Each structure stands twice: as C-alpha cells, then as structure tokens.
Structure 1
Amino acid sequence: MTDSRPGDLFKPGDLVNNTYRVEAILGRGGTSDVYRARSEISGRLVALKVLKSEFSTNEDYLLLLTREEAMRDIRHDAIVRYSENHRTADGHVYLLIDYIDGPGMDKKLKQGPMSADDLLVICKRVCEGLQAAHERNIFHRDLSPDNILLRDDDPAQAVIIDFGIAKDTNPGAETIVGNEFAGKYAYAAPEQLAGKTDARTDIYSLGASLLANFRGKSPDIGRNPMEVVQKKAEPLDTTGVPEPLKSILDKMTQSNPDDRFQSAATVLNALAGNPFDTAENEPLLDATVIAPLNAAVKAAAQAEPVTAPPKTTAQKAPPKPAKQDTKKSGMALPAAIGGVVVVAGIAGAFAMGLFSSAPSLPVADPYRLSIAKAKDAPPRAVGFVPGEEVASALREQMQQQNGTFDLTLASGAIAESWGQDMLTVVDAIDEMDAWRVSLSGNVAEIEGSTTSRPVFDAVMAAFDAGAMGALSGEPDLTLEAIILAPEKLDPILNTFADCGPLTLVNRPLAGYGPESPVIVGGVMSSEESRSALANALSAIIGSRPLDIDVDILNSTLCLIESVLPKAPSSPNDVAFYQGDQDNNPNPTGEFLVGENPVIDVEIPADVTDGFLTVSVLDVSGNVFHLLPNINRPDNSVEALREGQTGPVSIRVAYSIQESQQNGGLAFRVDDSTLGKSKILVIHSSAPLFNEMRPTSESATSYSEALLGDDRNMAARIFSLDSRILETLPR
C-alpha cells in the first residue's frame, strides 16, 4: 500500500460519483494513479485507475484508457476484468477495474526467490490468459512482475493486469504508443527495443519475469542504453534453475524470436510434459522421434555400471544424523507411444536427473548448484550434489532456517572434495545478511553483504584461511553502511540524466537511514528512462522507499536541456497573465486553445547590469526569441530598466491589444502546438550570441548555435532560470 500525499486527486474517505468510497492509494504511475475503493451500493471492492490531471483532457491518453476498457471483451480468470470509463463532475477520467486482493510478483521478488514449482504454476496460468488475449490479436507489451498479481497469494490464481499500452493489431485498431518501444527494459524482448511486437514478445517477458522471481532479484540491464542493447543480445543466465523450468525458460527467452515458443499454446503444451523440438519450434505431439543421445549421457551409458559413487573424506556425513528426504527427485517417464521407445525423451530425462534414485548416478554437464539467501528471507538451494550424504547435510542447513531446496543427485567433472568445500563455504558465509553461492563445476561465484563489521571480518578471515578448498573464484563481500551516503546515488543520477540534471530532493546531510525515502526530482525524456532509473536505484537503496518525482518532457526540450550552459538559478522569475482577460494573473501557466499568454520576466532590485536572453522552446520543435529580437534588439538590463530602480517586471510577450499598439510579440494558442513549452531566461555579462538570432528557428539550429562559433564565449553566464508554459485543448 502507498501513503497518501497532499497532491493526490482522491483521499481515503472520498466518495467518487456517489458510489465508490476510496480506501487507499495502491500505486502511482507516469500517467495515472490507482486507488482501492468500495461500492457503497454492493460492498464490492474495485480498483479505480485515474488519469492524472495533465492527461485527462488529452485525446491520445483518453483513447489509451478507452482501449484498455475494451479488454472487458476478453473473459478469462487470468486477465483482470475491466468495467467501464467514468468522468467525475470536475472532469477527471477513471477506469473501473476488478480489485485483486493479493501481492504482485514484484512484491514477491523483493521478498526473495520463489520455488520452481510455484513458478511453473504461474507460467501455466499466465500463458492461458495470454492465449485468450493473443487470439484477439492483442499483445500486452509490458509484462513484468509488477503486472502479475497473485490473488490470495496463490500461484494458481495469477492475474495479468495493466493492458494500458497493449498493442491491438486487429484491422483498423489504433495504437497510441505506435511501434515505438513500450515496456520495461529489464523484461522487454530484444526486438521490442526496435518497436517490434507480437505474441513472442509477451512470451519472452513472461520468461524473464519468472527467472527474476526465481533469482529473487531484478535482471541486470546495464548502466546506459548501449549496455541495455548489448545485454539484450545475450542469452539469459538460467544457471541453477532446476528442470523442467530451466528448459522452458531457455526456450521462452531466446534472443531470436524465431527460436522461441511461437505461441502461448506451445508453452502450455511443453508445460503439459510434451517434448518440443528446438529446431522446428513446434510440439512433437503424437510423433515418435529417434534422436541422438546427449554426449554426456551417451558416455555414461557406454561406461561400466557404477554401484555407488566413491566415498571420500569430503563426502562423509556430518556428526549430526541427517533426516532422510522422502521427496522424490524425479518423475515418471511417459509411456512410449505404440510401444516404441522415445530415445530423445530418455536422454532428456537422464540429463535432468530424473532417474537419480537408480544405483548409477547420471552425469550432469554443466554441474551447477545455486544457493542464495535474500535479506530477511529464508535460503534456497537448487541444483546438483554428488551424493546423499552431502545432500542431507545441505538440506539440514536449509531446514534450520526454514529454507527450501530442490536437489538432484548426479556425478560430474568436479573435485573429490567438492561436496565438503561447498558446505564449508555455505557455513562460512551464512551469517551475512544476504548472500549467494553459485557453482559451475569447480568454479564458484560468491557474493555476500552485511552491515555488521564483526560478521564481515569473520567471513573474510574464513575465506583467507582457505574455506574454498579446491573451488576457484574470488568472493565478492560487501560491508554495507547502515546509513546510505547520498554520494553513492549521484553517479546513477548522472548516468540516467537524459534531459537535464536529476537531484535528490531533501538531500540528507547525514545520509539515508534504513527506512528513509529516496526522492528524485528533475526532468526526463520518457517513461522508459524513468523505469530504467528506478531499477538502477533500487539495486542500491535496498528496501528504502523510492519516489522518482520527475517531469517527462518532449524531445525538443530535452535536446536544448542537453546543450544549455551550466549555471545556477537566481531570483529572476517568470510570470504569466491572461492577455484576453485584461491581463489577469495566471499562476498555473496553463493556457487553453484560443487564449493569449502574456509573459513577464521579473528581476530583483540588485540585478542592474548585464544582458537578458529570453526564449520559448516550443513543443512543436521551434524556438522563439522574445529578447533580443529584430523588433527589440537592446537586451541590456540597463536599457530594459529604463531608469527604474528596485524590482522591475519586463514584458517579453504581449496581449494582442498591446502588440497592435507597440509592435511587440504576441501569441494565441492554437490546437497545433499543445503540450509543454519552456521559457528560458539567461542572465549574462555580455550578449549571449555574436549576432542577432532570428525571431524563430528550429531547436536543432539553436542547439548548434549554443555549441558552435555563434555563441559569444566571452560572455559569462550569471544565471539560468526557466518555467513551463502548458497549452491545453478546450
């Protein structure tokens, strides 16, 4: 649940349309907020998705919300049920949605790894919902853990939500987001970055989401757009994922969409236990296929029978007797069709360790084991172990902390002391707050973090004393401060600042405590950039609340922001007035179609020299120079004051009536330039440019002038101030 804020449209207790009593705010998004409310007529809980004020009169966003409402035609338990749109008396638009009482997979992800069994159940359930949507040629495009809820915390009742940017490919359908990228970088399919979307895109995103929840952490997407593209071309790391989930995820998340499952139906077929052919990419239904054995399995089949794995001192049972695990590690092999042995199925079963109870252990190649413990969560162990004695010891360690395990007995190319070395490593690192041990053969990746200096020193000492034994690898151990220094977040803000500087609001001098909220302010170029920033910050701030309170600007404004000279703000201010209403003040800076914005620059008493440059960066991609221009070439503060002392208001955009009298610039809002424009006020020691700029020019031309020889580099920039002017439809 999210805390209510003064700026929220609805507050707990509000009655919407005389029907729905608001109980809480569930979450905030870039264009809308979602509230939980209860019908005072029926008592039914509902979710109200409300467009933010700035979008409630925008036809594009209204169409997006209307198309989301059209999802009500899809009736499936795995897809949230939509009702209809409403508009409040004061013009706010909201969508009525069924309330799902249960956590999102994003919340489960923060709590730590989920079991493979639960994820297989979720995969089946969500694919059933996707199949219903895909049959109507509707693709979600933003499938991620936060868009999958578990009703009553039950994996079998997973529900897909938020079809707000779903793409409808039916003839005549309008797609507001178009073919541009939509979704979250962390879970988007590689082709989605280029705007390509179909059923296979959702399949990839679901697979990436399931893998994240198995790991208990979000995917690493890189630090900048170039790294995002590079990482998306690489296969997802499914090391340590048990079968059959591993093979399913590998197939779902192939970087080439042609190599993936081609539909939700084919995923469901594979989940039902039907083998699938990676070459032809279709389920092998009733066909009998003779396929070559996996090389490792073939070698094992040709070797002399082994009655038991050789015992070494490394694999002796610990002094404390271990409980016998009664859970079966395999499953029954389906009967061969028509009495013919399906060799491919047997090879796959051996490779997955399904016959581990037999006297001869199958060969695992690669030989992998993953053990992880998230902060304030029980540990989990998944993968291969070389014998029942080692398995029992590891199970006991997991059970002592209410952890879970999914272990398969297998032989492989590992050191004789592998089992004991692994147990020693786990025992050494177990006192840390969060840790991960991932083994592939004899190579170990070990990560751990703690806020306790004694624990950190003890673990470091254990590894310095040789706790790894025959295993190779460098432990990556971190001593985290209880107080998070703001300076640690600055590099991330600088990396993702794509439209001007990003700042920490109410930056704490003493640092962020364990529960202190991290609030980011500034401007960004897109919702995708904001999402990527959120992912990057979340990896650093841990469980601290995060609020990215930024304005999303258009590409023109961001282009200029990137080349503007760096300078502090000042007491210089911008004031707006209604030229068509006797110059009445307009403190909001919002103007409707047909209205006449009047703009004043207000300078304080102590600003008496230098030069003022005032420009409007228009939403259409143009720049209008209000001061200086051909009609008003002298922009020195001395000339603008005209002998006046004290604070002075300098008019730079006039009412239509004033313009007719003095020839000054005047504007009237029309419906071709709706959106956010920016007023820039630059105070410099000399004229900003060597020559007079045209009254109107393109943003590109102005950017080149700021960077090139046109700029008067001798001019010292004292300050740079700005204010947003927004034009809206009637």
Structure 2
Amino acid sequence: MKESRPGDAFRPGDLLNNTYRIEALLGRGGTSEVYRARSEISGRVVALKALRSEFSGNEDFLLLMTREEEMREIRHEAVVRYYDNQRTPEGTVYLVMDYVEGPDLEHCLRDGGVSAEDLLVIGARVAEGLQAAHSKNIVHRDLSPDNIILRNCKPEEAVIIDFGIAKDTNPGAATIVGNEFAGKYAYAAPEQLSGRTDARSDIYSLGALLLASFRGRPPNAGSNPMEVLQKKGEPLDTEGVPEPLKSLIERMSHPDPAQRFQTAAEVVAAIRGGAAPAAPAMDDRTVIVPAKSAAAKSPGTGAAEAAKAAGKTPPKAKKSSLPLVLVLLVLLAVGGGAGVYFSGILGPSLPVADPYVFSVTKAEDGVPEASGFAPTEEVQRALSQEIARQSGTAELSLAQGSIGDGWGGDVALLLSTLATLDEWSLSVNGMAFTATGTTEDAAKEESVTALLSTDLPGGMSGTVDITRTTRLLDAATLQPVIDQIADCGPLVQQSAPPEGYAETDRIVVSGRLADNGSRVRLFDALRAAAGDREVVIDAEILNPALCLIETRLPSAPSGGFDIAFGFGDSADPNPSGRYFVGENPVIDVKIPAEVTDGFLYVSVLDVSGHVFHLLPNQSRPDNSVGSLRGGQAGIVPVRVAYGLAEAQGTSNLAFTVDASSLGKSKVIVLYSKAPLFATLREISEPAADYAQALADLVTSGTAAVATLDSRILTTAQP
C-alpha cells in the first residue's frame, strides 16, 4: 500500500457517489491512481482507477478510459473484470473494476524468479485470457510481468490486468527512441517497433515475460536504438531453460510473427499437450540467417546461398511486406557475410574503383534509382533486390576498392531505413555516407535520425539530415470519414480553415453521437487521417433511441421555450437536469411573452426507446397556448410533470426514476401555428412510431413545426 499525498484524487475514508468507500491507495501511474474501495451497499471490494485531475479534461485520456471500460464485454477468470466509468461532482473520472488480491509477476521476478513448472501453469492461464480478449478483437499491446497478478498467490489463478495503458494507437518508431515505453520494450514484439500489432504480438510478449520470470530479470533489449533493432531480430536467449518451457518460449517469441504460434488457443493446446507444435515451414519470400548459421561463418555467403543451404529456392525480388525491423535484419545478414572486399580476396579479376561510390535518389511519389559499385555478386544481388522491393532500378558494377568488410551490410541498412521516408537520397563514398530525406511523420524523423547518427555495425559513418515537412490537410478529405461514422444526425468540423489544417491546428468535430463506441471509432478514424494534429470530439452522446428521433425531427429554429427542472419533494431547482434512482422530477415549460396563440407539444424521449407525451394526452387534451396561458400575460410557466403529492387525486402526470432505464432522455417542445396531428397520440408509444409520424409531417406538408426546443434529462444510480 502507498502513503496518501495531498495531490491524490482520493483519500482513505472518502465516499464516492454514496457507494464506494476508499480504503487504501494501491499505486500511482503517470496518468492515474489505483485505489482499493468497498461498496457500502453490497460490501464488495473493488479497485478504482482514477484519472488524475490534470488529465480529466483531456479528450485523449478520457477516450482511453472509455476503451478500457469496453473490456467489460470480456468474461473470463483470467482477465480482470471491468464495470463502468463514473465521475465525481468535482469532475474526477474513475473506472470501477474487480479487486485482485495477490502479488504481480514483477514482484516474483525481483524475488529471484518463478519455477518452470509454475510458469507453464501461468502461461496456459494467461493464454486462455488472451484468447478471450483476442476473440473480441482486443490486443493488450503491453503485456509485461507487472500486468499479471497471481490471485491468492496461486499460479493457476493468474489474472491479466491493465488493458488501457497504451499511450497511442500507433506505437511507431517513437517507442524505440523516446522514453514513453522505457523499460517496456524488453517485452515488445519486433513488429511493434514499426507500428504493427496483432494477437501474435501479445503471444511474443507472453513468451518474453515467461522467460524473464524464470530468469529473474528482463530480456536484454539493448541500450540504444541500433541495439534494439538488432536484438529484436534475434531469438531470445533461452539457454538453461528446461524443456518443455524452453521450446514453448522459443515458438512464442520468434522474431518473425509467421513462425510463432498464430493464436493464443495454440499456446494453450501446446502447454496442455506437453509440447509445442512444430513451427511452420518458411516460404520463399524471406530468408533470415541466424547469427551462428553457415552464412555467418563463410565469407561471400548471401541470401541466395543461405536459401540453397536450407534446400529452398532463392528469394525473388518483390515488394516487401515485412515490418521495417525484419527487413533491416534480413539485409544485414545478407550483407554481413560478404567478406573482405579489398585486394587479396577478390584477386585481380575485378577493376579497382577510386573513388568507391554508391548513390540512390528517391523523389516524392517516385521510385529509387541506384547506381555505383558493389564488391561481390552476392552484395550486388542483395542491394539490387532491395531496390527492386521498393519498385526501383539499380545499375551496379562489380569493383574492388578501399572499403571494409561490413560495407554491404551497412549500405543495406541505410537503404531499408531511408525507405520509410517520403523522399530521400543516399551518397556513399568508400566508408563514408551522406543521407538526406524528408517526412511528414515526426516519429520517423526522430527514429531514422537516431538510427543513422551513430557508427553503423560494419564500420561506416556519415552525416544525416532528415527534415520534417508539413502539408495542409484539406477539411473536405476528412468529411467522408466523419460522415461514415455519423449515426445521430450530421457531424460538422468547427472553424475548419478553408486552406486546410496545418500540423499545429486542432480538428474539432461537433454534433451528436449515439454512444461512446461511436465516439471512439470517430476519434480513431480521425487520428489515423490527421497525423500529429490534435483531434477533439465535441459531440453530445445520446443513445440509439434518441438518435432515431433526432434524425426525423423537422428542421426548425428555437422558439425560446425554456425547460426548467425541479424536484417533487422540494422547491429547489435542478439546473443540472440529473436525477438519481428514487427521485421525482418536476418539469415546467415556460411560454415566451411574445407567444400568445398556436399549439404546444411536449414529449419525453426515454432511454428505453419509448416516447411519453406530456402534452397533449388523453388526460390533458387541450394544448392551445391561449388555454395554457389562462389569461396571463408575459412569461407563463406550464407544468407538464408534477410532484407525487401534487398529482395525488388528479389526472396530472408524475413519475419517479427507477433503475430499469438509466441514461439520457430528452424533453422536446414543439410549437406550431396549427395542430400537428389529427388525433391525440397515446401517452406512450415506441420511438420508431413517433419518428415515422414526424417524418410524415414533413412529407405531407399538412402542418408545420414553427419552433423546436429541447433539453437533456439524465438518470443514474446514486
């Protein structure tokens, strides 16, 4: 347990929403704090994850909390159970989840590790939890020992926690060179370093954390960006790990996702069956030469020779679908075995080139064009194939010159790294190079610069000048993305610059959405299209029933009809419009002073999907403004929902909030010069029926809505 601090969101003894009593602070993170609390209603112990006050108004962090809340759909004993997000009157947002009692694997790791037998039990249990999450298309992305808790200290009761800590939907290169994943990328899969994540990435992380838990220390992920890329392309060191845990970890953590278990279900089956299934055979698209293979021992051995040694067809030139890190390592292996390129090995048959040059230029929206020299046929072929994978052309002549053994591998690394940029050029002279390029992606700019600003593995060094460009983003290109997700009327971009969004501009979308899921989808879609620009979804969240009516309501201006909320048991107003279970809402509609004739229609669109007609209805059929005024001038309040005591013995409508239909309802006030409907509508009817009736008004043209006013009424548990 942690000691409380003055800046903490909650303190022991605090009572939240009349339900949860804070008992202790469990831990602090960069954006949130976790507390143990107890429900004073049921006595159940829960964990509360509270978003720190400085982040409670930040849309990005609120969306992450929403994502984590959606984990409640996953029902499995190996996955922590989530409930819902709540907000205190002071504005602190917190997430309610199960409280899991027990140590985490990080604690066990620091204490010297866990036995192989227990890790097999933990591995099967966690894989079952991942299988449940993956079936809902949810990938953890950051599985590590501190996210696995052993409930009651039992391996067979391992529980996965914290599905909401991903800092960005695109983990990209910044996760290597930045500090955001400090200490975490020891468990990240190689493809995550280039922004690609799927279920197999979680399987890699599970294998890495099992290895760490056995050894009592994390895997060695390198101390700088170059080492990280190299280490992630190599198998994890499982020396000394007993079988079958050793083979299991090796299959789970293979650098190539295609060579791992493809699903968590396969992991479970392998452990339950006592042995890991055989790895799938590699196809002819990729040859990854292990560090101790024959290719690494013999000078002059490249990708084609490695493939022949393995009995496979040499790789064909085609556009690579591998993530950046794997392409880098393939080419390093190809070039690294090229041997010594100066006199004494190649003999006098090759001409001497002085200077020994190699250059490539790739224009924006163009393809790379390479020319220059290569020291061996293997290096010539490897470099030409890399250029061909990028749909370019290469004219390389064989020659010897003053270059080191690692020249081919270093040039291959330069090509693969620069290929991620929008436009670039590379000029090599002997063992020195000059690399320039541009990109719109800040992470790529940072990553490529960091990778190439140190001496390369083969001894080459040079200068790097990567600049970031900014393009204006046309608002018109975003609107189709927005329209595709709009499910509650039109969504609009607020103050969209006519010339387009600059990189520092904020994209703000307003309107209405049916639920938080739509909000998350819209946010994710815009973030994918907006690059580094800030995205804000300033939309009112309703519900599907309200949205059905919203899309059918006639277009009409506000008439100035004020809707006031109060309480049936007191004279106090309720300006928030928020009511809890058991409370008795009172609703008054104030007729503006200038409105002296016409007809008034007041309805409540309930969260359950029904419409309740407060005025007119069978017990109160007269809705003419003249009658409602009763001879009074000025602003006249008309009560349409009464207090229970006030309605006793009358036909007036009164209601209390019950727990069967909590959420947002909408009070709608329609004003017209003539009656809208030929007959009285039932007091209650399905929202779909009323929506159709409103649509018929518009199409028939028999009556028109002059003005429309509305206000949200929210019901919730105390």
Does 1:688 find its partner at 2:648?
no
2:290 partner letter: G
User: Is the CA contact 1:669–1:727 (under 8 Å) kept in the aligned structure 2?
Assistant: yes
Q: 1:701 aligns with which of 683, 689, 713?
A: 689
The one of 458, 468, 471 aligned to 1:481 = 471
Summarize the Cα distance change of 1:692–1:383 in structure 2 as closer, same or farther, 3 Å threshold: farther
Post-superposition offset of 1:143: 7.8
TM-superposed CA distance for 1:269, in Å, is 11
- Distance of aligned partners of 1:81 and 1:502 in 2 relative to their CA distance in 1, 3 Å threshold: closer
Task: Say whether 1:363 aligns with 2:299.
Answer: no
1:545 aligns with 2:551: no
CA contact (8 A) 1:623 1:698 kept: yes
**Alignment-derived partner of residue 140 in structure 1:** 133
* Paired residues for 1:57-68 under 5 Å: none
Q: Which secondary structure does the structure 2 equivalent of 1:687 belong to?
A: coil
C-alpha deviations, 1:235-289, integer Å up to 9, x for none?
Answer: xxxxxx9999697449866xxxxxx56333468899x9963469xxxxxxxxxxx
Distance 1:718 1:93, change over 3 A: same
Verify: 1:499 aligned to 2:484, yes or no. Answer: no
Preserved contact between residue 387 and residue 393 of structure 2 (Cα < 8 Å): no
CA shift in 2, pair 1:674/1:450, >3 Å: closer
Checking the alignment, whether the CA contact within 8 Å between 2:131 and 2:264 is kept in structure 1 is: no
**Is the 2:289–2:330 contact (alpha carbons within 8 Å) kept by the matching residues of 1?**
no
Deviation at 1:537, TM superposition (A): 0.6
Can you list the C-alpha shifts for 1:533-566, whole angstroms capped at 9, x where unaligned?
A: 1221111221233343545444322332332233
In structure 1, the residue corresponding to 2:634 is in which secondary structure?
coil
- Deviation at residue 710 of structure 1 after TM alignment: 9.8
Q: Deviations over 1:387-444 (max 9, x none)?
A: 859999999989xxxxxxxxx98989x999948963779999969965799xxxxxxx
- Equivalent pair of 2:492/2:509 in contact (CA under 8 Å): yes
The verdict on how the C-alpha distance between 1:246 and 1:368 changes in structure 2, with shifts beyond 3 A counting, is: farther
Cα RMSD between the aligned structures? 6.6
- Residue 415 to residue 128, structure 1, CA distance change in 2 (3 Å): same
Decide whether aligned partners of structure 1 residues 600 and 242 sit closer, same or farther in structure 2, where only a CA change above 3 A counts.
same
Change (3 A) 1:667 1:353: farther
User: In 2 relative to 1, CA 528–65 (structure 1 residues): closer, same or farther, beyond 3 Å?
Assistant: closer
Amino acid of the residue matched to residue 267 of structure 2? A
Maintained 8 Å contact 1:486/1:512? yes
Q: Which amino acid aligns with 1:133?
A: V
**Counterpart of 1:530?**
519
- What amino acid does structure 2 have at the position aligned with 1:264? V
- For residues 125 and 322 of structure 2, the distance between their equivalents in structure 1, rounded to whole angstroms, comes to 37
Identity %: 32
Number of residues of Structure 1 aligned to a counterpart in Structure 2:
489
In the aligned structure 2, how far is the partner of 1:66 from the partner of 1:214?
25
Q: Which amino acid aligns with 1:368?
A: K
Partner in structure 2 of residue 668 of structure 1:
656
**In the alignment, what sits opposite 1:573?**
562
Deviation digits for residues 675-730 of structure 1 (CA, Å, limit 9, x no counterpart): 33221222334333343211111222222322347976343334333222233345
Asked if 1:719 is matched to 2:689, the reply is: no
Deviation of 1:669 after TM superposition, in Å, equals 2.7
Between the aligned partners of 1:417 and 1:513, the Cα distance in structure 2 is 33
Deviations 1:179-234 (A, max 9, x none): xxxx9xx99xxxxxxxxxxxxxxxxxxxxx96973652689xxxxxxxxxxxxxxx
The question of whether the paired residues in 2 share the 8 Å contact of 1:390 and 1:420 is answered with: no
Decide whether aligned partners of structure 1 residues 684 and 418 sit closer, same or farther in structure 2, where only a CA change above 3 A counts: same
The 3 A distance-change label for structure 1 pair 86 and 666 is closer
Answer whether contact 2:302 2:337 (CA < 8 A) is retained.
Answer: no
Q: Tell me if the contact between 2:72 and 2:81 (Cα under 8 Å) persists in the aligned partners.
A: no
Q: Deviations over 1:126-165 (max 9, x none)?
A: 99976323557983358878843376xxxxx68479x9xx
- What is the letter of the counterpart of residue 148 of structure 1? R
Distance 1:514 1:352, change over 3 A: same
Between structure 1 and structure 2, the one with the greater Rg is 2
Mapped partners of 1:515, 1:650: distance in 2? 50
Any conservation in 1 of the 2:593–2:635 contact (CA below 8 Å)?
Answer: yes
The 1:564–1:436 alpha-carbon spacing in structure 2 relative to 1, beyond 3 Å, is farther
Corresponding residue for residue 17 of structure 1: 12
Amino acid at match of 1:262: A
Q: Structure 1 residue 528: deviation in Å?
A: 3.0
Mapping for residues 50-61 of structure 1, pairs under 5 Å: 50=50
Change (3 A) 1:489 1:690: farther
1:594 aligns with 2:582: yes
Find the counterpart in structure 2 of residue 300 from structure 1: none
Q: Distance in 1 between matches of 2:672 and 2:359?
A: 72
Displacement, 1:600?
1.1
**1:331 CA displacement:** 5.7
1:16–1:22 contact (8 Å) kept in structure 2:
no
> 5+ unaligned residues in a row in structure 1: which ranges?
1-9, 28-33, 39-46, 54-60, 103-125, 152-156, 164-169, 171-182, 188-208, 220-240, 254-259, 279-292, 298-326, 335-349, 399-407, 438-447, 453-477
CA contact (8 A) 2:642 2:652 kept: yes
For 1:619 and 1:648, locate their aligned partners in 2 and report how far apart those are by CA, in whole Å: 29
1:355 is paired with a residue whose SS is helix
Structure 1 residues 428 and 527, CA gap change in structure 2 (3 angstroms): same
Decide whether aligned partners of structure 1 residues 386 and 37 sit closer, same or farther in structure 2, where only a CA change above 3 A counts.
closer
TM-score (norm 2): 0.50
Partner of 1:330: 290
Match of 1:422 among 378, 384, 392: 392
Rate the CA distance shift 1:88–1:645 in 2: closer, same or farther, 3 A: closer
**Corresponding residue for 1:275?**
278
| One-letter amino acid of the counterpart of residue 720, structure 1 | L
**Which letter maps to 2:306?**
F
8 Å CA contact retained: 1:384, 1:410 = no
Matches within 5 A, 1:212-223: 213=192, 215-216=194-195
What one-letter code is carried by the residue in structure 1 that aligns with 2:141?
Answer: I
Change beyond 3 A, Cα 1:418–1:708: same
Structure 2 Cα separation of the partners of residues 674 and 637 of structure 1: 33
Q: How does 1:215-614 map to 2 (within 5 A)?
A: 215-216=194-195, 248-249=257-258, 262-265=265-268, 275-276=278-279, 329-330=289-290, 355-356=306-307, 362-364=313-315, 367-369=318-320, 381=328, 388=335, 418=388, 422=392, 434=422, 450=440, 481-482=471-472, 484=473, 486-504=475-493, 513-569=502-558, 571-579=560-568, 581-614=569-602
Asked if 2 retains the 8 angstrom alpha-carbon contact of 1:363 and 1:410, the reply is no
Displacement, 1:69?
A: 14
| 1:568 shift after superposition | 4.3
Counterpart of 1:131?
124
d(CA) in 1 for partners of 2:293, 2:312: 17
**1:519, CA displacement in angstroms?**
4.3
CA distance in 2, matches of 1:81, 1:396: 57
Which residue does the alignment assign to 2:142?
A: 149
2-structure distance, mates of 1:621, 1:591? 19
For 1:639 and 1:372, how far apart are their aligned partners in 2? 74
- CA distance in 2: counterparts of 1:216 and 1:659, whole angstroms: 62
- Residues 506 and 536 in structure 2, CA contact (< 8 A), matched pair in contact too: yes
C-alpha separation between the residues in 2 aligned to 1:725 and 1:158?
42
Partner residue, 1:648: 636
